[in-house]
Amino acid sequence: MGRQPKEYELIKANLNLQAVLKNLEEVVEFDPESAALARTWEEAILFRVHHGPSGHLVFRDGRCTVGQGKPSRPSIVLFFLSPAHFNRMMEGKAKPIPLKGFSRLSFLTKDLPRLTNRLEYFLRPTPDLTKEQSYLELNTRLTLTTAAMAVSVLGALDPLARLAVAQVSRGLVNLKVLPRGPEVWVGFEGGRIEAGKGAKERPSARMEMKGYQAANDFLNGRLDPFTAVASGQVLVKGQLPLLESLSLILDRIPVYLS
C-alpha cells in the first residue's frame, strides 16, 4: 500500500488509540497470562501524537485503564512525530520517542511488548484458534469492544460515517452476545456518538447475537446482516433506522483496521 493521505492516518491513529488499545483492558481482565504479567505493574503512560490524538494507559492494582488525554502523574511519556508515526509503531515498524521515563526503558522494551503481543494474538484469529471456546469468547469480546469504540471515532472523523450520523437525531443502541455474553452501547445525540462497555437502560434499539460463534461470524463479516437476521442468529428490536445508520458506520471500520 502506498503512502496514505494525512486524513486517513489521523483517523487510523484515533482508532488505534481509542478502539484497538482499549482492548488491553479486556485482555488484562480476562486472559490469565496477561493478568499475571500486569499484576504488579504501577505505570501511567502518556501517548502524545503531534497533530494527532493523545491518550494513556494506566496499570494499577492489577488492572489496565485506557483513556483519552493525559493521566494523572504520568511515569512515562512517549512522543510521536505524526499520526503516521504512531500507526507504524502499532504495526511494529517504528519506535516512539521517550520524553519521560528513561529509567523505565526495560519495562517499555521487555515487559509491555509481552502484553501487546498477547493482545495481537487475540486480535488475529485463525480457524484453528477459534475452535477453542476460551479463545473464541475473548476474541469476540475484543471485536465487540473495538466495533463500539470505532463507531464513536468514525462518527466524528470519517466523512461517510458523519453522513450516517446526520440521519439520526438521537438514540441509544445496546449490542449483546446472548445469553450472558459481553455488551456494549452506542449513543447518538446531536450529531455526535458516544460508546462504552456494558448496557444502558431503556435503549431505543437492541442488537442481540445468539451465542459467541454467531457473534464472531457476524462481527467479522462472515455472516451478512440479511442472513444473520433472517436465520435468527442476530435479533434486532426497536428503531430500525438507528440500527441501519449504525450498520453503515460499522462497514467503515475495515477501511482503516484490518
Domain encompassing residue 185: 129-256
Task: Tell me which of 94, 123, 152 is where a domain ends.
Answer: 123
Nearest to 150 by CA among 257, 70, 26, 244: 257
pLDDT of amino acid 2: 56
pLDDT of amino acid 46: 98
Q: What is the CATH number of the domain that holds 163?
A: 3.30.1050.10
Same domain, 145 and 111: no
Same domain, 88 and 172: no
Same domain, 103 and 163: no
pLDDT in tens, 163-207: 999 988 899 999 999 999 999 999 999 889 999 999 999 999 999
Task: Tell me which of 123, 154, 184 is where a domain ends.
Answer: 123
Task: Tell me which of 106, 123, 140 is where a domain ends.
Answer: 123
pLDDT of amino acid 225: 86
The string of DSSP letters for 23-47 reads HHHHHHHH-HHHHHHHTT--EEEEE
- Measured CA to CA, the distance from residue 244 to residue 175 in angstroms comes to 14
Same domain, 173 and 116: no
| pLDDT above 90 (res 22) | yes
Same domain, 46 and 85: yes
Same domain, 109 and 222: no
Same domain, 146 and 106: no
State the total domains in the chain. 2
Same domain, 247 and 141: yes
Same domain, 78 and 22: yes
Same domain, 79 and 154: no
What is the model's pTM? 0.94
Describe the chain by its helix, strand, coil percentages, rounded to 5.
50, 25, 30
pLDDT band at 243 (very low <50, low <70, confident <90, very high): very high
